Structure 1
Amino acid sequence: MQVHFSSLVILALASLAKSTSSTEYGTVVGIDLGTTYSCVAIYQGGRVDIITNEQGNRVTPSWVGFNGHERMIGEPAKQAFHTIPSQTIFDVKRLIGCRFDELSLSEDVRHWPFKVVDNNGQPAVEVVYQGETKIFEISAMILGRLKETAESYLGRPVTHAVVTVPAYFNNEQRQATKDAGHIAGMTVLRIINEPTAAAIAYGLDKQGGESNMVVYDLGGGTFDVSLLRVRNGVFEVLTTDGNAHLGGEDFDNRVIDYLINKYEKQTTINVSKNKRALSKLKREVEKAKRTLSSQLTTRLEIESFEGGNDYSAVLTRAKFEELNLDLFKKTLEPIVRVLEDAHLKPENIDDVVLVGGSTRIPIVRQLLREFFGGREPRMGINPDEAVAYGAAIQGGILSGATPFNDEIILIDVCPFTLGIMTKGGVFSPLISRNTPIPARKSEIFSTASDNQRSVLIQVLQGDNHLAKDNIMLGTFKLNGIPPAAQGVPQIEVTFEVDANGILMVVAHDRDSGNLESIMITSERNQLAKTDLVRMVQEAKAYSLGDKEVHARAAALNHLQQAIVSKRDLIKIQHPHSQNLTIYAELAQLSDWADTRGEFADMVKLGTRIDKLNNINLDQNGQAIATPAMTKTTDPELVQTTHARPLESNTSEEPVSVTSTDMLETAVSGSHPNPLIPWDEL
């Protein structure tokens, strides 16, 4: 059930009026919400900046993990995959807007270690978090983390975004993506097609003349091909095609299945149901695939793969290509279709632009070179970042931040006919294919029998005369029609497609004034307002929970560093002191931090840091009597019974030092980990 939208990008010479509200948007971020990796970018200072995440990387894995009371997003989730495979979620883009009973989903589920359940006909991810079994909006969590990444970079809140989707995404999937942005705390100003965003990124420097460009976008889980015509500053996406389930993940899965079978032949052990083993194998296969883009052979090494046994296997580029050759060749089929739709031949194409991480695979480039008569594909922009790059430019246009705000206009067109089914199963079109959008079209229909009190509006997509040969998008009923002879009632049906490619259908009985409508985003999937409000509140709560976890981790790290710092400083300042009380206190705190610190709340961590700050020696190397040095009644500390003092290396007289001296000495460079006061954490 897909509605496809292609796009027209125009560099206009005439100035257009701006929306006065654009200045209220602030910085509009551009987000590429990918199957395997996501990327966020902004336009500022006359250029596009790809924003790095906490780990310093320009792309973030589209992964979310749940470990007890901790939620991990991005690289931390991916790194913890082999320890909690059933609680680590990835490839969630393949769940957006699809039905639970779709065949393609069942094939995906076979390779996923996490649980996918039927939630009123929709696939939903079920995990255990904070002791409860819950269903989460994973895409919103990823978008929320990208939002936080941008806010950290900018130093101010981010409230508006441009988010990209595959060109083949239907209405449901587009609306689900907008909903995810809303849950993440952003208004999605525009949903644009990924190839269109890439066209913007690549096309800004194209001036004059006329050329035809193919954008080949092969990512981790999706595939798009768009054909553009560039002419005197006009960038027109003529045709678009794609495959919802074709990308790097599918290539990985072929190798994983091959290695599982190979291991079973060698050991008679089938690991296809062993989630921990599969998680380790998935990680190594992805790494091997990347290596084979630059080398002819690589070795996979997995420790404790299964039953305590290690696993080692050699994978060659030739074997990788053999396992996936049919899939690689399958990417040429949409190219053939877009050329046929545009009545062009391969020799008519001037540029082939590569987008998506999977375009780094050598055989992909080889097949494209052969298909286009030896023309070398180009990757002027990092293929992982090109889509976010273009989305950021569009965000800059919407916010008024770009110098070419008067020059770029995006006009989407609907390449498929949209209409309703009428008497006899006939398809009656309202919006014809290639109609520019936003678009609105109304027609008058009537009843098929005498005294008919209701009509069923069946919305379809397609170009076939018979409704049954087209794709059903949704249905709704208009009731309360006054009794009248057949053909007398006047029922006005209006189709409206907005700039995001989302279809709204309204049926209005002119006599009674009754009106019914449906937004073709999903009879099944569209979230109710109450659900959206609840999910927004939950997202905020989870974000606060993440911040608390990070704050506790930072406090524990500071405590452990400060214990080492104080112990080392005592050794330096009092090299021959044998004060057992001091070392016992430090040992108790260190043991507590190692065994219980991970699970302690901020109050308990603060108490331990206060205790540490109160551990001091007088000028004779004796412990100063402070609340921290009195006999402890803390049940979490009295369990420590063994404390080993630091050995003295010299017989020199002790040097007097206070806690302030210790802090200043550490800060001045005598030790890399200074004692940090609790109120400064």
Structure 2
Amino acid sequence: MAKGRAIGIDLGTTYSCVAAWEEQNGRAEIIVNDQGNRTTPSFVAFTDTQRLIGDAAKNQAAFNPSNTIFDAKRLIGRKYKDPEIECDLNLWPFKVVPGADDKPMIKVNYKGQEKCLAAEEITSMILTKMKDIAGAYMGSSVENAVITVPAYFNDSQRKATKDASIIAGLNVIRIINEPTAAALAYGLQKRATFSGKRNVFIFDLGGGTFDVSLVTIEHEVFEVRATAGDTHLGGEDFDNRMVHHFVQEFKRKDRVDITGDPRALRRLRNECEKAKRTLSHANDTTIEIDALFQGIDFRFPITRARFEELNRDLFEKCMEIAQNCLDDAKMEKRELHDVVLVGGSSRVPKVQSLLEKFFERNDLCNSINPDEAVAYGAAIQAALLSESYSIVPSMVLVDVTPLSLGVQVKGDLMSVVIPRNTAIPVKMDGVYHTTKDNQSWMSLPVYEGERTKASENNLLDKFSFRGFLMLLEAILSMLCLNLIMMKGRLSSAEIKRMIEEAAVFREEDKKFKKIVEAKNALDYYIYRKERGLKDFNVSSKVSASQKEAILSAFTVGKTLLESEKHNEASVFEDYLKMLQNICQSIV
């Protein structure tokens, strides 16, 4: 339990929101910023005289594009060579360069000097802004916070978020998943209207990330059954499709290319974002920008149908991820009691119509504010974890880990210790044997992922192994004897690829596992029989010629094991049977 009051922060890609629990009202309150807005742009800008954060930063973005930073959430905890970052580099007006250990660094000019900042630093500035907004509302400084992250944030991204919080002077008492926080908000607002068990599907489509979670609410317990998502899918991607479309239209009509002008692109992006919002309640709109480029005015209409066609594959991908979550939870659509829409992009009419068709229902839950639900739920969790509140709702949250965790064993097999969608916190132990006589220790590589072949998953660390511990924030902790090596964590592109490849290569994985098991069986048989031949009683019953024949067969078997030419389990299985027949006939 944390001492002192605590707040809940929804740290978003495009907008952030902060809330606090109010005992006298028995609910969380969204805190308005200094501009009177309930959400704050996740923007930071640098000028020759000052640093701007929030509304002030976004308002001047068109005039200072190269020094106005946004999308820090898409950089945090990732590597510069991440394919998704490489794609975003072409869209960002600011410069991102590789730093030490391939860490992406953002270049800005501040007070006449060039500076390189990590995503954690930019994020800490946004968190500081949210902390100050809360402090002004509460009348005193606040240090404790519950911060939300996408459910599919990996271990590195979660740790980087905690680092950013420390830089901002915040004590993070818990990191929780965004759809889980939304489920808490839903539960508090709706539980008076239902009784017994309730299965709720949270569909969280925000500005930069997409998450879905299936939560079972029973009495005071909120149990996450499964989660799925994409850390690079959201409203900004819809905006990018529109920007690309209008750049091509402008090039076709006026024979000019604006892709090299950051200011023109920023102005166009701002108008595309406005048009997207307009198309949520209108069938068409027109984007008009005076003197967009080289004095040429920009004026193009766009219909809702055209917008939907530009983003059709992205909308359909959301439905695929929703199906994956249902499959992981082993639950049918008819078993759901509610589908809750969260995140500003869930307002897109096409998204809602696809959801209604997918879930075969027309009563999607729109009654909680999609922009504020995550911060609202985070504030509830903060109240539950703070000693300063005496009147708080009675709720117990059980979350899950999104990816399997395991170790590499002989034959490059992934031995899963903590399966994905396991309720956390959890501690699991595995029993592993040494591979050689008199071996006093062993180094076990730790991976996260869903592939059978360990090296095709993502290496976290190498440890002298003793146990696993998954913390409440879904951050991996190790009970180990000696830390051997630390390795940079996986990229978001890789984490997204893991489960997809697990399905595509499932048959290949089964085949590989069978080969490894066959090779291990042959290897162990040769090892055991060689030791047996050294035994005096056995050796005395075997003639020199028989012993030579057996040893020769063992040598051929070892050569077969070392060869990389054979990729069928039957080769090793057949040779093992032959060895067994030879040994049985002689001994």
TM-score, with length taken from structure 2? 0.78
- The structure whose Rg is larger is 1
Whether the 8 Å CA contact 2:7–2:19 is kept in 1: the answer is yes
- Look up the match of 1:135: 116
Whether the 8 Å CA contact 1:454–1:477 is kept in 2: the answer is no
1:234 shift after superposition: 3.3
Deviations 1:531-558 (A, max 9, x none): xxxxxxxxxxxxxxxxxxxxxxxxxxxx
CA–CA separation in structure 2 for the residues paired with 1:411 and 1:345: 21
- Look up the match of 1:361: 348
Given the alignment of the two structures, is residue 105 of structure 1 paired with residue 85 of structure 2, yes or no? yes
1:522 shift after superposition: 4.2
- Look up the match of 1:200: 184
CA–CA separation in structure 2 for the residues paired with 1:87 and 1:473: 35
Whether the 8 Å CA contact 2:221–2:395 is kept in 1: the answer is no
Secondary structure at 1:331 match in 2: helix
- Look up the match of 1:594: none
Aligned residues: 483
1:463 shift after superposition: 4.8
- Look up the match of 1:34: 12
1:274 shift after superposition: 0.9
- The 10-residue stretch of structure 1 (431-440 or 94-103) with the greater mean CA deviation from structure 2: 431-440
CA–CA separation in structure 2 for the residues paired with 1:387 and 1:524: 25
1:193-592 to 2 correspondences below 5 Å: 193-204=177-188, 205-206=190-191, 207-401=194-388, 405=392, 407-414=394-401, 416-443=403-430, 445=432, 447-449=434-436, 455-469=442-456, 471-476=457-462, 492-508=465-481, 515-516=482-483, 522=489
CA–CA separation in structure 2 for the residues paired with 1:178 and 1:519: 18
Given the alignment of the two structures, is residue 83 of structure 1 paired with residue 50 of structure 2, yes or no? no
Whether the 8 Å CA contact 1:442–1:494 is kept in 2: the answer is yes
CA–CA separation in structure 1 for the residues paired with 2:359 and 2:463: 50
Deviations 1:130-152 (A, max 9, x none): 22211221111000000011111
Deviations 1:567-592 (A, max 9, x none): xxxxxxxxxxxxxxxxxxxxxxxxxx
CA–CA separation in structure 2 for the residues paired with 1:166 and 1:404: 29
- Look up the match of 1:482: none
Whether the 8 Å CA contact 2:222–2:398 is kept in 1: the answer is no
Q: Is the alpha carbon distance of 1:517 and 1:404 closer, same or farther for their aligned partners in structure 2, counting shifts above 3 Å?
A: farther
- The 10-residue stretch of structure 1 (120-129 or 110-119) with the greater mean CA deviation from structure 2: 120-129
Whether the 8 Å CA contact 1:397–1:404 is kept in 2: the answer is no
Whether the 8 Å CA contact 1:164–1:193 is kept in 2: the answer is yes
Whether the 8 Å CA contact 2:443–2:484 is kept in 1: the answer is no
CA–CA separation in structure 2 for the residues paired with 1:498 and 1:518: 21
Identify, as 1 or 2, the structure richer in helix.
2
CA–CA separation in structure 1 for the residues paired with 2:273 and 2:86: 22
Given the alignment of the two structures, is residue 162 of structure 1 paired with residue 129 of structure 2, yes or no? no
1:428 shift after superposition: 2.7
CA–CA separation in structure 1 for the residues paired with 2:326 and 2:28: 32
Q: Is the alpha carbon distance of 1:517 and 1:154 closer, same or farther for their aligned partners in structure 2, counting shifts above 3 Å?
A: farther
Q: Which segments of 5 or more consecutive residues in structure 2 lack a partner in the other structure?
A: 493-587
Secondary structure at 1:344 match in 2: coil
Given the alignment of the two structures, is residue 93 of structure 1 paired with residue 73 of structure 2, yes or no? yes
Opposite residue 475 of structure 1, the aligned amino acid is: D
- The 10-residue stretch of structure 1 (217-226 or 454-463) with the greater mean CA deviation from structure 2: 454-463
Q: Which segments of 5 or more consecutive residues in structure 1 lack a partner in the other structure?
A: 1-18, 479-491, 509-514, 526-681
CA–CA separation in structure 1 for the residues paired with 2:72 and 2:132: 20
Secondary structure at 1:57 match in 2: coil
TM-score, with length taken from structure 1? 0.68
Deviations 1:574-611 (A, max 9, x none): xxxxxxxxxxxxxxxxxxxxxxxxxxxxxxxxxxxxxx
